[in-house]
Amino acid sequence: MTRTTSRQRKSNGATAEIRIPALEVRQGPNRILYTFAIDGKQLPRVATVSRLRRDDDAQLQGYQRPAALAHINAIRRYIESPDAMLPNALVVAFDKRVTFESAERRSPKAYSRPGTLVIPVDDSWEDADKPGWIVDGQQRSSAIRDAQVQHFPVCVTAFITDDQSQQRSQFILVNNTKPLPKGLIHELLPTATGQLPPQLQVRRYPAMLLERLNHDADSPMRHRIQTPTLPEGVIKDNSVLRMLENSLTDGALHRYRDANTGGGQTENMLVLVKTFWTAVSTVFADAWALPPRKSRLTHGVGMISTSFVMDAIADVLVEQGELDLEGFVAELSRLDEVCHWTAGVWEMADGTQRKWNDLQNTPKDIQLLTNHLLDEYRARASGKRRGARQLRLA
C-alpha cells in the first residue's frame, strides 16, 4: 500500500500539508491528471461534496446531487465486510492551492512522471474552504467515512483548476451514463463549459433561458419552476424546457436563433416569452396561481400546448408591429371562454368532450389540446366559425 505522510506546519498559524506520492499523467496538449492512493478516512480532510445550491444573488453554487442514504449505507456495510474492494477511482477537482512536485524531468515521449502532490489541510476549515471537491464518488466517500473500519485506502484521479464551470462539465460527463436526475443536469448545463454529448449540447441554450425565467426579477415564472435548488416550484422544469425547445425549433423564438452558434438574441427571446406569460397570468389569473393538481394551465399539458398559441399570436403581432403586453392580452382573451383549466369540460374540435383534469402530459393529449386552442384562436381571430385545421406535433 502506498504510504501517505503528513508534514505539520501548524506553528505560528501556518497550514499543514499532506504530501502524497502521485503520478502526473498528460492527456493531450492541455490536460493533466494526477493519480494517487489515499486513506478514504483522510479524504474528507481535503475534499468535500459541493452540493447544488443558489446564493443570495441566485447564482449557481456547487454541482453535486443530494446524498442517497440508502445507497451509502449499502456501500458502508460492504466496506465493513471481509475482503471488501472498491476498484474504481474517485474523481476529485482540486483548486490551485494544490501543487505537484516532480521527482524527475518528463521525457518528451512519456505520458507520465512520478512526483508528490502537495495538498494544504487545516482541520478548522469549513467544507467550503477545503481545496478539493469530489466530482465522482460522493457516496463511496461518505460510506468510507462512516464505516466501522480503521483505514480503507482508495484510488483517486484528480485534476487542478479554479474554474468551477470546468468542474461541473466533468461532473456531467462522468455521470452522464448513470441515473443522474435530469433536473440536476438541466440546472448545471448553463454554467458548464467545454464539449458535451450532442443530446446535452442542444439543451444547454434552452436551459440557460429557463434559468433566466426562473430567476429574473421581471419574469412571471420567477421562482415558480421546480428545480433541485427550487424544489418548492410548481411548474416542472421539463415542461418549460420542451416549451422553449419547440419555439426555438420552428416557433416564435426561431427568428432570434443563430443556427451557426446554437445561441441567439437572448434578450429579445426573453422579452417575448416573459411578455406572453405575463399576459397568460393576466388573462387566466386564477388558473395561473394554482399548482398543476388544481390547474391544467400550470400542468405540463397546458404549458406546452399554450406555448404553441404564443407562437401563433407572436406571428400576428409581429406583422402588426405590436409585440407588446397589450397585444398579447387582447389576443389571448379570445380564448377565455373556451378554456377550462380548473373546472368544467373541454369541448374539442372533433366533437369529443374531456373533463378539465382528464388531460394528461402525454403526446396524444398535448396534441389534442394544442389543436383545440389553435383552432379556436384562429377561428376567433378571423371571425369565422371553428374549423377543422389541425397542428400535427412531432
165 confidence band (pLDDT: 50, 70, 90): confident
Backbone angles phi, psi at 209, to 5 degrees: -60, -40
Q: What share of the chain is helix, strand, coil (3-state, %, to 5)?
A: 40, 20, 40
In this structure, how many other beta carbons lie within 10 angstroms of the beta carbon of residue 358? Answer: 11
270 confidence band (pLDDT: 50, 70, 90): very high
384 confidence band (pLDDT: 50, 70, 90): very low
Distance, CA of 275 to CA of 325 (rounded, Å): 6
pLDDT digits (tens, 9 = 90+) for 348-361: 877 889 999 999 99
Q: Are 318 and 330 in contact (CB under 8 A)?
A: no
Give percent of the chain above pLDDT 90. 56
- What the block records as the C-alpha cell of 336 is 377565455
**From the DSSP assignment, how many helices (H) and strands (E) are in the chain?**
12, 15
- Mean per-residue pLDDT, 104-116: 83
- Mean per-residue pLDDT, 325-335: 95
- Mean per-residue pLDDT, 332-343: 95
Most confident of 199-213, 219-233, 264-278, 374-388: 264-278
Q: Which pLDDT score is estimated for 349?
A: 76
The mean predicted confidence, pLDDT, of the chain is 84
pLDDT digits (tens, 9 = 90+) for 236-255: 999 999 999 999 999 999 99
In sequence order, what DSSP letters do the residues of 195-235 get, joined into one string?
Answer: ---HHHHHHHHHHHHHHHHHH-TT-TTTTTEEBTTBTT-SE
51 confidence band (pLDDT: 50, 70, 90): low
Give percent of the chain above pLDDT 70. 82
62 confidence band (pLDDT: 50, 70, 90): low
Kind of pairing between the strands at 16-27 and 5-7: antiparallel
Tell whether the model's pLDDT for residue 170 goes beyond 80: no
Q: Are 372 and 341 in contact (CB under 8 A)?
A: no
* Domain map (residue ranges) of the chain: 5-179, 186-382
Q: Are 152 and 144 in contact (CB under 8 A)?
A: yes
- Mean per-residue pLDDT, 296-309: 96
Q: Which helix (H) or strand (E) holds 38?
A: strand 31-39
Distance, CA of 47 to CA of 40 (rounded, Å): 11
Distance, CA of 64 to CA of 210 (rounded, Å): 20
Tell whether the model's pLDDT for residue 225 goes beyond 90: yes
Tell whether the model's pLDDT for residue 180 goes beyond 80: no
